[in-house]
C-alpha cells in the first residue's frame, strides 16, 4: 500500500511542478464573483480506498466552506494475500488472519483558504483545507472455507470442508484454509461503530476552465472510534492515523445568476 502511495505522491509532484513553472499569457477569463461547487472524486488512503463528494460555498476570494461525504473500505497494513492450491482447484487468494471486513461512511464540515491563485494560463491554484466530522462504520465478520479433514483415494487428495470464522490459535497455518466463504456468511453478525475524524490537506486545482475544477488533494486523516476496530486477528485499536490522496472534479455555478435565469424563463412562459 505504501508503495502505491509513493507512486501517487511522485505523480502529484510532477503535476504540481509542471503547472507551477508553466509560463504563458495572463488568465483573462473571469470566474463568477460568488459561486458554489459540486465535486465528486475517488480516494486512496494508506489503509484503503473510497469515493468522495463535497458541496463548496464561496465566502470571499480566499475563503470557502464545504460539506463533505465519503465512503471508505478500511484495510490493515498487515494484510498479505496468500494462496492454498488443493489438487486441481483454481487459485483462490485470501488474507490469512483477517477477521473483519470494515466499511465506513463519513460526513464532515470544513474550510479551505487560498494560498496561491491562478495568474497565468496553465498554472495551478493551491488551497489549504481542514475538516471535522463523524464516522459511521460497519464491521462484517469474515468466514472461510476451512479444511476439517482430508481423505486420500488413489493418490488423490479429497478435502472435507466447512464454513467457519478463523481461529488463529487453531487454524495457525494458511494450508488449513481453502478460500473465503460466500459474502452472505456473517451478514447477520455485522457490528456498528461510531467515531469522529479530523482531516488536513492541500488542494492543487489544475483545471484550465474557470467554470470547472480538477483537483488533486493530499493530506492526513485521524480517525477515532468509540469501540476498538479489529481487521486482523488479535489487533484492535481505536485510533487510525493515515495519509490520503484524492482526485476530485466539479463545476462552478453562480446561484444568483441561476435564479435570475429561472425567473426569466418563468416570465417568458407566462407571456406565451
Length of the chain: 272
Q: Please tell me the predicted confidence (pLDDT) of residue 23.
A: 46
Q: What is the pLDDT of residue 28?
A: 46
Q: Beta partners for 200?
A: 130, 220
Would you state the pLDDT for residue 229? 95
pLDDT of 16 reads: 52
Range of the structural domain that residue 180 is part of: 2-271
Residues 6+ apart with CB under 8 A from 214: 205, 206, 207, 247, 249
Q: How many domains does the chain have?
A: 1
Contacts of 70 (CB under 8 A, 6+ apart): 43, 50, 51, 52, 53, 105, 106
- Per-residue confidence (pLDDT) for residue 178, from 0 to 100: 82
- Cα dist. 113→31, 36, 121, 200, 233 in Å? 17, 15, 21, 12, 42
Positive or negative CA dihedral for 237, 239, 243, 248?
Answer: positive
CATH number of domain containing 28:
2.40.160.20
Q: Tell me, what's the pLDDT at 219?
A: 96
pLDDT, residue 85, reads: 67
Q: Give Dmax over CA atoms of the chain in angstroms.
A: 90
- Output the pLDDT for position 9: 53
Q: How far apart are CA 266 and CA 263, in angstroms?
A: 5
Q: Over its length of 272 residues, how does the chain's per-residue pLDDT go in tens digits? A: 445 555 555 555 555 555 454 444 444 454 555 788 999 999 999 999 999 999 999 888 889 999 999 999 999 988 888 887 665 556 678 888 899 999 999 999 999 999 988 766 667 889 999 999 999 999 999 999 888 777 777 777 777 788 888 877 776 677 778 888 888 999 999 999 999 999 999 999 988 887 788 999 999 999 999 999 999 988 899 999 999 999 999 988 776 655 554 555 556 666 65
- What's the pLDDT at 120? 64
Amino acid at each position: 500500500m505504501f508503495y502505491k502511495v509513493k507512486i501517487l505522491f511522485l505523480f502529484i509532484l510532477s503535476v504540481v511542478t509542471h503547472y507551477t513553472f508553466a509560463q504563458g499569457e495572463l488568465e483573462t477569463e473571469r470566474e463568477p464573483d460568488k459561486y458554489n461547487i459540486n465535486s465528486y472524486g475517488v480516494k486512496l488512503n494508506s489503509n484503503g480506498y473510497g469515493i468522495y463528494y463535497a458541496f463548496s460555498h464561496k465566502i470571499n476570494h480566499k475563503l470557502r466552506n464545504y460539506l463533505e461525504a465519503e465512503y471508505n473500505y478500511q484495510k490493515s497494513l498487515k494484510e498479505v494475500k496468500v494462496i492454498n492450491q488443493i489438487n486441481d482447484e483454481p487459485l483462490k487468494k485470501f488474507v490469512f488472519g483477517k477477521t473483519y471486513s470494515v466499511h465506513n461512511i463519513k460526513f464532515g464540515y470544513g474550510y479551505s483558504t487560498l494560498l496561491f491563485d491562478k495568474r497565468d494560463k496553465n498554472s495551478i491554484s493551491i488551497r489549504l483545507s481542514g475538516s471535522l466530522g463523524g464516522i459511521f462504520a460497519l464491521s462484517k465478520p469474515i468466514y472461510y472455507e476451512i479444511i476439517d479433514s482430508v481423505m486420500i483415494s488413489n493418490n488423490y487428495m479429497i478435502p472435507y470442508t466447512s464454513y467457519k470464522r478463523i481461529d488463529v490459535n487453531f487454524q495457525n497455518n494458511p494450508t488449513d484454509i481453502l478460500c473465503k466463504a460466500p459474502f452472505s456468511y456473517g451478514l447477520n453478525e455485522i457490528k456498528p461503530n461510531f467515531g469522529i475524524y479530523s482531516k488536513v490537506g492541500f488542494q492543487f486545482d489544475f483545471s484550465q476552465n474557470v467554470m470547472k475544477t480538477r483537483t488533486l488533494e493530499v493530506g492526513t486523516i485521524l480517525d477515532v472510534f468509540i469501540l476498538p476496530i479489529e481487521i486482523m486477528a488479535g489487533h484492535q485499536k481505536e485510533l487510525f492515523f493515515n495519509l490520503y490522496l484524492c482526485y476530485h472534479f466539479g463545476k462552478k455555478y453562480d446561484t444568483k445568476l441561476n435564479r435570475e435565469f429561472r425567473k426569466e424563463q418563468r416570465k417568458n412562459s407566462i407571456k406565451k
